[in-house]
């Protein structure tokens, strides 16, 4: 078997509207609705399906838990600029810019948390 890529992942969320507002308003993702009332966030060629904690879609993870994800997104804008923009919007940035190592090489990253406490890394490809 040869895995070719990641199509989507799932986040379990406690407050759907708060989550949508964060990812669409601060991270520029697009909300989409599909199937029987399902909700996702789209960016590039990927998506994040959102499952409400009180009624996760079947099948689901053995222990669906809000705030347990650690995600890294590659962004086009310099993270130093995003840091200023996010802070001006009231989003707390926990760390950065700091150098890190990504799947394809060096990164320059900032870290923040979504409404459920998931760790969100926003990174530029460095070098």
Q: Known catalytic residues?
A: 121
Helices (H), 1-127: 16-25, 79-88
Structure tokens at 61: 């993870």
Compute the 3-state secondary structure of the chain and give helix, strand, coil in percent, each to the nearest 5: 15, 40, 45
The DSSP call for residue 64 is: -
* 3-class DSSP assignment, residue 35: coil
């Amino acid at each position: 078997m040869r895995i070719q890529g990641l199509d989507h992942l799932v986040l379990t969320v406690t407050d759907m509207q708060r989550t949508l507002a964060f990812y669409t308003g601060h991270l520029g993702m697009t909300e989409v609705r599909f199937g029987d009332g399902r909700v996702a966030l789209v960016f590039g060629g990927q998506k994040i399906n959102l499952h409400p904690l009180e009624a996760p879609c079947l099948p689901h993870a053995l222990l669906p838990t809000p705030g347990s994800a650690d995600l890294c997104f590659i962004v086009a804008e310099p993270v130093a600029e995003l840091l200023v923009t996010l802070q001006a919007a009231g989003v707390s940035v926990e760390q950065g810019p700091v150098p890190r190592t990504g799947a394809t090489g060096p990164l320059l990253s900032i870290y923040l948390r979504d409404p459920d406490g998931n760790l969100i890394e926003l990174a530029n490809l460095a070098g």
